[in-house]
Structures are given as C-alpha cells and as structure tokens.
Amino acid sequence: MSETQTNTPQTETPVMRNPLEITDTVDWGPIPTMIEGESRTSGKLLYKGPKGSPESGIWICTPGYWNCEVTEDEFCHFLAGRCTYTHESGEVIEIEPDTAAFFPKGWKGTCRVHETVRKVYMIR
C-alpha cells in the first residue's frame, strides 16, 4: 500500500476529493478469514505515517461473510453499501451509507457484506 506518502515528513496536507467517485483503486486481495463467499478488498491510501501508523484512505469490500478481529483502533465512515458487524458478545451493528463507527483494538466478531461497501477510514 505505497500509492501515497510513507515515512516522509509532512510538507502538505493529504486530501482526497469525492471519495465515492474514485476509481483508481488498488486490489488488496481477498479477506483471509472467510466463512462464506469470497470477499475481495481494494482501496486507495491517502496517508501512511512513519512505521505504518497512522493510516487513512478508502476501503472497498465485495459481498461475503468472515471472521473479523480489529488489531488497531479504527474509525470508519461508510459511504456506500450495506453490511452487518456482529460482536462476539452478540451486539449487532447494521451499516448503511452515511454510518460512522469506531472499532477499538481487540474488537472481535463477524462481518457480513450484503452489498459492496466503500468507507473512508483511519487506523491508529
């Protein structure tokens, strides 16, 4: 994921305009923890800081169902699509366009993408 700046001092503010319209994304491959289907991910990096953190950009994922474990705090603003996150405690989070969510490090559960999702994210 080195489409943008990495490990260099910031001299300009990274800006991404019209994230719903961006088409020059990079294939990031299939979700490795699939339960059902074959979700594929792609995206575009906006910024990646020194040593890989923080990271922000666009993430796109096709339909499927998988186990999900959040390894770093992540803020997401979902722009398109529908999916359901189910925490291991049983809490159900329905995602639709214009939903913002914060997933803390250590969050575990499943994700079922019903319609291809597109989100802007920041991981720290």
* Digit-coded pLDDT (tens) for 48-75: 998 889 999 999 999 999 999 999 999 9
pLDDT for 96 beyond 90: yes
Q: Where are the domains of the chain?
A: 26-123
pTM reported for the whole predicted model = 0.88
Q: Which residue has better confidence, 4 or 18?
A: 18
Q: Give the end-to-end CA distance of the chain in Å, rounded to a whole number.
A: 16
CA distance 83 to 22: 21
Q: What is the mean pLDDT of the chain?
A: 93
**Residue 6: is its pLDDT beyond 60?**
no
- Please give the pLDDT value at position 52: 86
- pLDDT bin (cut points 50, 70, 90) of residue 15 is very high
**What is the residue whose two structure tokens read 């994921």?**
1
Q: Which residues pair with 37 in a beta bridge?
A: 64
Residue 33 to residue 46: CA distance in whole angstroms: 25
Q: How confident is the model at residue 1 (pLDDT cuts 50, 70, 90)?
A: very low
The CATH homologous superfamily of the domain defined by 26-123: Jelly Rolls (2.60.120.10)
